Each structure stands twice: as structure tokens, then as C-alpha cells.
Amino acid sequence: MESLISCPSHRDARHTVVWSLKHFCVTVGLASALIGPWVHVQAQTPPPPAFVLGIEAPDNIRTLLERHLDLLRYREQNDLNDSELDRLMADAARDARDLVATLGYFSADVRIERQTTGPAMPRVLILTVDPGPPTLVNDVQIVFSGPIVEDAESAWQRQQIQESWPLRTGMRFSQQDWDAAKQQALRQLTTHNYPSGQVAGSSADIDTKEHLGRLVITLASGPRYRLGKLVVTGLQRHDAELVTRLARLEPGAPYAQTDLVAAQQRLVDSGFFDSAYVSLNTAGDPAAAPVLVEVREALLQKLVLGVGISTDAGPRLSAEHTHHKIPGIGWRAASKLALDRETRAISTELLSRPDADNWRWLAAAQLQRQQSAGTDISSQRLRAGRSQALERADRAIYAQYDRADSIDPESALPVVAQAISANYAVTLRNFDSTPFPSRGWGLGLEVGGGTTLGAEHEPYSRVLARALTYLPLERNTSVTTPGQDAGRLAVRAEVGAVWARDGAVLPSTQLFLTGGDTSVRGYTYRDIGVSRSNGVVTPGRFLATGSVEWQRPIMLNGRVSDWESTLFMDAGAVADQVQELRAKIGVGAGVRWKSPIGPLQIDLAYGLEVKLLRLHMNVGFSF
């Protein structure tokens, strides 16, 4: 009879034992994984500090001592005995006096004592600081040495350094303010005429009894420098003459660091160079010091693809190709294709190299199909002339051919209008900074005259003027960032007029429409025009728009942030007769953000005429 219970063989028994050992190891491993971190944490619990330091002092002094007092480095050394701690306490008292003196308190009463504590408890030290009266500046002497003393043309520079000296008589002395004042004076000396200037000596004599300080600084100007020839490196495709014309640094001109920085920016903004660095070689002849220009050329050709969206025109696609040096003529060509909900356009522009006065020849062509106020308009434009672009002024003189194909809103018949004109445009800018201005103004003016083409030639003239100004309202002295206005008004205006015989047929591209993100918010893009009897809106001969916007920085943690809040009112009108102009008004509020690519504008506006709310978004600043 076969047994129902079988015992494992020796081989089976061995496998059973091995499995059991593995199971035991796994069990122990899991227990170790669970218990190990707890045991590790317990083992790593930090021991109590060697001592605890309490500081009794005014807030500014306590903050200074907590950051820089050398005694605090020894808190974790548990093997400190009492004699070593006594020595450190004596050193700490001297260290504290020296630190407090940097704030202008040279007669501070500093005491440090040890309090009795129980066994196994960290020792407690109390540092008490009574700063006493602060030291006030009693006298300031700014001494000049070198050619700046006798140079009559540098009198304004000496006066500027003296008048803008920040640490004046009667002010509290501190080492930080003293160092900052010396750095400012040196910067004002070396940024104009004297780049090798230096602080030849300085002293702060402190009367600890009277708590008065006498400050003396000696500024050695070194020789006065004038600009010499440009020494250009890094060129491959372009020549040094192009760099010279773009930099616009005249040999013999007095040295000014701002001029070199502006030249550097012009080179980068030209598009010919990816980077540029301009400096003065002070080792050369001061009367004609070489100007060192290091450039890295941009790619000969560049293709940029863009995707965007706006509340005016919806999604937007663009492609832009630039060729910096067309073979044969050496001009730059910039071609662009743009597609959005309202407009389809393709254009190209040719620009010659700048001459000595930064004037360039230009030739441009554009084909466009645009839906404007419910009407499709196909237009073509040719332009030829000259343009000049400077930091604060742009000018252009050009002849222009315009053609526009549209449908007459009254008769529903196709209309072809053509014109040729001569034009002059100028833009002046005086903003404190771009692209984030907080004060200043800009003015633009376009004037032109010409004649229509086709069966009848009708003369006409056209004017468009625009202005923008920022008016600071107040200065918030509690703001820690200097130079920031607590609020400002941005006031914008634009007027345009076309004069021609009543029956003259002008291209619609020479007439006016308004409305949208950058004109009259609360209305759709180019929605304000001349309303015809059938409800269609068409361009008109006269334009008037205006806007008042209150911009106020948003404070975060007591500081000016990159955000601003706005309240605004816009108004605009278009008509064929001046007396028929009727303003359409939009009011609203919004925010601004100083984004890396320029100001981001987000506005919610209410159009009083259409009684609708509209969201408006726009990026960038241009004038």
C-alpha cells in the first residue's frame, strides 16, 4: 500500500533549505529597508549647539550682526571649553564695534555676557548694543588733480561731480554710503573725457567725541581722450566702411562712454551683426585713441517663421526672409508673407547700404488683400525713395504708386482707384527708455500730394499727424527702486485729412479707418469709418482719435513689480466732411506686463456706441 505522505529527498530538502534562507534574507532586507531610515535619522540628529547667541540691538544693527558677526561660525563646535568661549566673546565684542561703525556709530556701547543654564543645556550668550548717536557728515572736500583742473571745457564735468555728490553735509555717515559716493564720482569722471581717471586718495576723519565726519576724496583725471580711427575685427563678408557708417563715431570727438554704447547698439540693431563690442584703447595716443570694434557677423540669409494671435485679426502666420547682401548690388532684401483673419499680404523691400549721414535708398512693393468693415479690398503699392533711421528721429522721402480694387457699397459695382504721390515722413522720439517708457514724448508727421490716375486725373493732398506723451503724476518716495513713478498719464492723439474734389476717386489705402487694439478700444479692428445707407462702413477722408490712459505700477512686497494697472478712455471718428465727425468712445481697464519681448497689453474695453465688451491684447511698443 502506497503511503499518502511523502518525505522530500535529500535533493528536495536542500532546495527547501535554500528557499528558506532566501526567504529569511528577503524578510530581513525588508525589515532593514523599513527600519533603516528611522535608525539613520536617529543617528543623524544634530547635537545641541555649543552656545546660543541673543542680540539686543536696533533692527538694522541686529540684521547686520546676524549676517556678519564672526562668532556665529563657532556655534556648532561642541568641544569649546569655557576659556575658549571667553576668548571668542572678547573678540566678538571688538568685531561688533567694527561692524556697527560701518553704519556710522563710532561710540557704540557693546556688552556680551554669558547667562547661567542648567546641565546638558547649551550656553546662552547675550550681545547688547547701544549704538549711541550717529556720526554726521560735517565737511566734504572733492579735490581734482590732472588736466581736468585747467581744462575750461571740463568745467561742467567738475561741477556735475560736485553738485551730484550724494553724501552731503548733515547726512548720517555710513561706510556703504561713503563707498557708493566714491564710486559715483569715479564713474562720472571716467564716462566722459577721462577714461583712465582714478581715485588718487580718500579719507574719512571721524571725531568720535563730537560725532562728526570730515570726508576728503582726490580724483586724478589722467589725460583727456579724443576718439581716433576705428580698428575693426571679425569681418568676413562686410567691409570696415559699413561698420564706420553704422557706428557714427567721428575721429577727434571727445570720449564719452555713452557714445560708444550707442554705437555698439546701432551695430547690433542694423541686423548685419549678431554681436558687437566697442571700447577705447587707452594705451594709445590720448589725442587720437584707437576705438576697438569687435563684431560677429550675422548669417548672410535668414528665414524667420512666426505664429501668433491678436484680438484684432485672430490667428496669424508669417514668414520673413532676409538677405543681407544681394549679389551684384550689395543691398539688403527683406521679403515677408503674412496671413491672418483680416489680411493676406506679401511684400519685399530693398535697402541700400547707409551713406555717411545714414541715408539709404529704398525700393518696396506690396500686394495685399484685406477685409475691411465687411468689404474685400485688393491693393498694390510701389514705393521708391530714401530713408534715414536715427535713435531719436526717422525720416523718409519717397514717391508712391497705389492701386485699390473694391466694390462700391452703393452700386455694388467694382471700383478701381489709382494714384501716384510724393511724400515726406518724419518721426521724432524723446522717451526716457524703450520699449518701456515712463516719461517723454513722440511726434510723427506724414505729408504728401499727388494725383489720381485713370480716366480723370484729380489732384489731392494728404496729411497724417500723431503724438504720444507720458506725463508722470507723482513720485512715491517709499518705493525702494529709484527712478520709478507711482503713476503717469499716457496721452495719445492722431489726426488725418485728405483734400480732393468731392467726386475724385481715391484708393482706399490713402483714406482712413480706425478702431481696435492700438486706436479705439471697445470696437473691432478698423470698424470705425463712414457708414453708408446700406450699413457698410467705408474709409473716409478725415480722421481724429484720442486716448487718455492712467498707468500705475503694481506693488509687490513693497517694491515696484513688472506689472501695471490701467484705466483708459479712447475716442475716434472718421468722416468725409470735418463737420460730420462724431466721436465713438470706448472706456475700460487693463494690465501691462514688462515681458522679455516688450510690453504686453491686456485690456477689457466697453464700446459706448455698440454697447459691447471687447478683450484687447497687444505686444510691443513702437512709435
**Which three-class secondary structure state does DSSP give residue 203?**
strand
pTM of the model: 0.71
Q: Cell numbers of 118, please?
A: 542648567
* pLDDT on residue 41: 44
* pLDDT on residue 530: 92
**Domain ranges for the chain:** 51-130, 136-220, 227-297, 301-619
Q: Cell numbers of 338, please?
A: 503674412
**Which three-class secondary structure state does DSSP give residue 600?**
strand
Which residues are CB-contacts of 442 (< 8 A; sequence separation ≥ 6)? 427, 428, 429, 430, 431, 467, 468, 469, 623
Band of residue 28 on the pLDDT scale cut at 50, 70, 90:
very low
Question: Directed axis angle between helix 175-190 and helix 155-163, to 10°?
Answer: 160
H or E stretch at 27: helix 10-43
Q: Is the pLDDT of residue 21 over 50?
A: no
Q: Is the pLDDT of residue 11 over 60?
A: no
* pLDDT on residue 404: 93
Tell me the per-residue pLDDT of 273-284, one tens digit each, with 9 for 90 and over.
999 999 999 998
Q: Is the pLDDT of residue 543 over 80?
A: yes
* pLDDT on residue 44: 56
Torsion angle, CA of 92/96/99/103, rounded to 10 degrees? 180
What architecture is domain 136-220? Roll (3.10)
Are the C-beta atoms of 495 and 465 separated by less than 8 Å?
A: yes
Band of residue 372 on the pLDDT scale cut at 50, 70, 90:
low
137: left (phi > 0), else alpha (psi -120 to 50), else beta? beta
Domain 51-130 in CATH: superfamily?
Answer: membrane protein fhac (3.10.20.310)
Query: Which stretches does DSSP call E strand in 194-261?
Result: 198-207, 212-220, 227-233
* pLDDT on residue 619: 87
* pLDDT on residue 31: 40
Phi/psi of residue 27, nearest 5 degrees = -65, -45
> What mean pLDDT do residues 71-83 have?
84
Neighbour count for residue 151 (Cβ, 10 Å): 15
Tell me the per-residue pLDDT of 146-183, one tens digit each, with 9 for 90 and over.
999 999 989 999 999 999 999 999 999 999 999 999 99
Q: Cell numbers of 448, please?
A: 504728401
> What mean pLDDT do residues 440-461 have?
95
- Higher-pLDDT residue of 3, 186: 186
Q: Is there a common fold for 136-220 and 301-619?
A: no
Are the C-beta atoms of 64 and 100 separated by less than 8 Å?
A: yes
Looking at mean pLDDT, say which of 25-39, 342-356, 362-376, 477-491 comes out highest: 342-356
The per-residue pLDDT of the chain, averaged, comes to 87
Q: Which fold has domain 301-619?
A: Porin (2.40.160)
**Which three-class secondary structure state does DSSP give residue 11?**
helix
Tell me the per-residue pLDDT of 288-311, one tens digit each, with 9 for 90 and over.
999 999 999 999 999 999 988 877
Band of residue 555 on the pLDDT scale cut at 50, 70, 90:
confident
Query: Which stretches does DSSP call E strand in 352-432?
Result: 359-372, 375-389, 393-407, 414-431
Q: Cell numbers of 78, please?
A: 561642541
Report the alpha-carbon distance of residue 453 to residue 206 in Å, rounded: 85
Tell me the per-residue pLDDT of 230-270, one tens digit each, with 9 for 90 and over.
999 999 999 999 999 999 999 999 999 999 999 999 999 89
Q: What percent of the chain has pLDDT over 70?
A: 89
* pLDDT on residue 521: 96
Among residues 88, 47, 96, which one has the least CA distance to residue 67?
96
Neighbour count for residue 557 (Cβ, 10 Å): 6
Lowest mean pLDDT among 48-62, 426-440, 516-530: 48-62
Is 227-297 assigned to CATH 2.60.40.10?
A: no
